[in-house]
Amino acid sequence: MTKPPLGSTMRLVRPAPNVLAFYDGRVDGARAWSDGPNWLDDGAYALGICTYAIVDGYQALVYDTHVSLPHARIIRRTLEELRVTSIQVVLSHWHDDHVAGNEVFQDCEIIANRLTAAALSKNRVKLENENPPIRPLVLPNRIFDGSLHLTVGSIPVELQHVEIHSHDGTVLIMPGAGLLFAGDTLEDPVTYVAEPDRLAEHLRDLERMAGWTFDRILPNHGSLEMIEAGGYGRGFITATQAYVEKLPRCPNEPGLVAQDLKLFAAEAFASGTINYFAPYEAVHRENVQAVLALESTSRT
């Protein structure tokens, strides 16, 4: 495996007017940090990771700060080359691959919902001593509850708290463009189950999100080609719902446990809504094991 310098394989694409997408990972034969297990390679780079910036005039909003300081510096330099002088940051949730570049934006307004701020504070020591470490972890300096309306130049955006994937998710809606920036609430091909005891709540908020008005979806983990082409259709939510609904059946249906991802989500793959990507087999296996472990614990 080669190990190119951090950020050197990042690609910049423009999925919509006023939107920049900073995509890295899914690079054959390469790892970003080390050959051994680590969150940057195994949780982000291998799966593909994208963060976004909305730009209008001299103002920009950055949605997540990427997986390292070099990545974040490239984002900031790109914006400054576009003559941006005012930057706000929005954090989609507290997980490491979304906050690792915060230090580069520490002089900016860093916005998070109250649950994200609390989770970052609670897990600060853990995050600062991860492999690789996020040290220092720069915390958000503007907190909101529920929802928040912002303006980037003349572009209105809406932040909404949702409990999908993580209890503290924040998604971003760009109403004028019909775009939903989904963070980790939706992943192509399947969600990573970080909180298996909250799947019912995740399904509830997936249903709530499906009722909103938008046309295209830009996730943080997905296919570069789909993102570059303008994002995913609304069927992305339906595919995620079907997957999450199926997981709790595993403890009582051994046949489901034995299925690989390609078979488990066969209908969604056949529809073309999501795209099979082999590294997500490991994610699926972890998801199934997490649900089985939860069921085993509840019975003891």
Domain ranges for the chain:
11-192+215-239
Output the pLDDT for position 298.
Answer: 62
E-state strands within the chain = 11-16, 19-24, 49-56, 59-63, 86-90, 109-113, 142-144, 147-152, 155-164, 166-174, 179-187, 216-221
Superfamily of domain 11-192+215-239: Ribonuclease Z/Hydroxyacylglutathione hydrolase-like (3.60.15.10)
Q: What digits encode the pLDDT tens for the residues 55-75? A: 999 999 999 999 999 999 999
Give the pTM.
0.96
Output the pLDDT for position 277.
Answer: 96
Per DSSP, helices labelled H in 140-198 are none
Output the pLDDT for position 299.
Answer: 62
Output the pLDDT for position 71.
Answer: 98
Output the pLDDT for position 129.
Answer: 98
Q: What is the mean pLDDT of each run of 10 residues along the chain (300 residues)?
A: 95 98 97 96 96 98 98 98 98 98 98 98 98 98 98 98 98 98 98 95 98 98 98 97 96 95 95 94 96 76
